[in-house]
Amino acid sequence: MEGLAPPLELLSSVKRAIEKGQSVKQGVLHYIKKHDGEFPLIVTQWLALLQQGQDPKECIQGLSSLHRRTLLQILERGLRGEAIHGVLVRLEEELIEACNEEITNKIARLPFIMLVPLLIFQFPAFLVLLFGPLLQNFFHSLGGG
């Protein structure tokens, strides 16, 4: 699952664990073991706070993404024993839709971003090709007249 969004990877790992008959905690631990980066560290801190009986609200509020916060809140309910498979399926659809929308936005901006190298490198070269002979004739007519 190279290149998936971290919350989508966590969701898939937990959903797969639930479908295999394992617990939500086993799915979260599998995700933490298999992935590295910023989000797995946050999930580790979140899980540690839950296991210690503390309130993980501060850890969740520190996340900038609404999808990440929602996922951790749903997983918290799952760790308490609630059935969350249906909610995970709906959230997975929303996450996939959000990822597709983000990809579409980045692809829409790509042509404008690619114009920058064109303007910086190719446009001056084109001007030299266009005005080079004109300037050469102009200086020739001034000097040799």
- Per domain, the residue ranges of the chain are 6-107
Q: Helix 66-79 vs helix 38-51: angle between axes, to the nearest 10 degrees?
A: 30
Walk along the chain (145 residues) and give the pLDDT tens digit of each residue. Answer: 466 788 999 999 999 999 999 999 999 999 999 998 899 999 999 999 999 988 888 888 888 889 999 999 999 999 998 999 999 999 999 999 999 999 999 999 999 999 998 888 888 888 888 888 888 888 888 876 5
Give the C-alpha separation, 22 to 26, whole Å: 6
Q: What are the pLDDT digits (tens) for 13-48?
A: 999 999 999 999 999 999 999 998 899 999 999 999
